[in-house]
Amino acid sequence: MAETPPADLVTVLQALSDPVRLEMVRQLARCEEGHGIRCGEIEIDVTKSTASHHLKTLRNAGITGEREVGTRKLTWLRKKELEERYPGLLEAVLCAADAPAITA
Amino acid sequence: MAETPPADLVTVLQALSDPVRLEMVRQLARCEEGHGIRCGEIEIDVTKSTASHHLKTLRNAGITGEREVGTRKLTWLRKKELEERYPGLLEAVLCAADAPAITA
DNA sequence: TCTATTGTTCGATCAGCACCGTACTTGTTT
DNA sequence: AAACAAGTACGGTGCTGATCGAACAATAGA
């Protein structure tokens, strides 16, 4: 399993520009690196199959890594690889995602 | 014309995650702030109407500003407003866009 | 006034994708 | 073995958006 680098920028931005996936990334960001959380553990308002689809998209963009543990699958953010390839990008997105919505 | 702030993060990322628009943003980034370049001056391989559509998308996301000068329309990047709302995001994206493609 | 030039808008087409339910695979547990 | 749990794969649906050509407005220049 050669650790492929994150995909091209357009693919990465595309993957991040979905509300569900962005929320997934936010929740993943709150985990230890290399630890990961379970697929079904992510709290989002979509069905199992849809969640699986989104996780696959993130995986294909090289944003997340996965590891199987029995029947379960752990997913984590590939912070280091993203930082190497696109410095500052993930941090800016995560920070931006925490920014309050405009109320005015 | 009250300067509305950039749109929500998903909208901004969505706008940036298209190859044509990303290239537009890159070209716009090479201009003086507040100066702007002409619509037709942007070198992309799409028709006029498509380019107009993409510029509208960028405008609606609050990424660009526009000003009419006769029959022409100047467009510029709203660097300052973006930096205020989403610190580091634009710079990271522009920097990432300059990153070389993976050759391996 | 006539004619380019500049850009928008409209209608149509086509592709992609988010979403769901269901069926399936694989591993765990009893 | 049988039942359960976790997640994937598939087929289908409906919506959004990228794209084009053509028609249109508005201004500038001859």
What is the tens place of the pLDDT at every residue in A29-49?
988 665 778 877 888 999 999
Q: Which parts of chain A sit beneath pLDDT 50?
A: 1
| Pairwise CA distance, residues A82 & B10, whole Å | 19
- Which one is predicted more confidently, B103 or B4? B4
Residue of A92, A62, A87, A88 whose CA lies nearest to A77: A62
Q: What is the pLDDT of residue B103?
A: 65
- Which residues is B72 bridged to in the sheet? B69
Encode pLDDT of B60-75 as tens digits: 999 999 998 888 999 9
Chain A residues in contact with B25 (beta carbon < 8 A)? none
Total count of residues recorded for chain A: 104
Contact present, A36 and A67 (Cβ < 8 Å): yes
Which DSSP letter does residue A88 get? T
What pLDDT does residue B1 have? 46
Please check whether residue B63 is in contact with residue B77, taking contact to mean a CB–CB distance below 8 angstroms. yes
Nearest nucleotide by C1' position to the A56 CA atom? D8
Query: Ranked by mean pLDDT, which of A100-104, B3-7, B23-27, B67-71 comes out on top?
Result: B23-27
> What whole-number percentage of chain B has pLDDT above 70?
92
pTM: 0.91
Q: Give the best residue of B17, B54, B85, B90 to mutate against chain A (max A CB count within 10 A).
A: B17
Question: Which tokens sit at B7?
Answer: 């749109």
Q: How confident is the model at residue B37 (pLDDT cuts 50, 70, 90)?
A: confident
Residue linked to tokens 């930096």: B83
Task: Give the pLDDT score at A33.
Answer: 63
Mean pLDDT calculated for residue range B40-46: 88
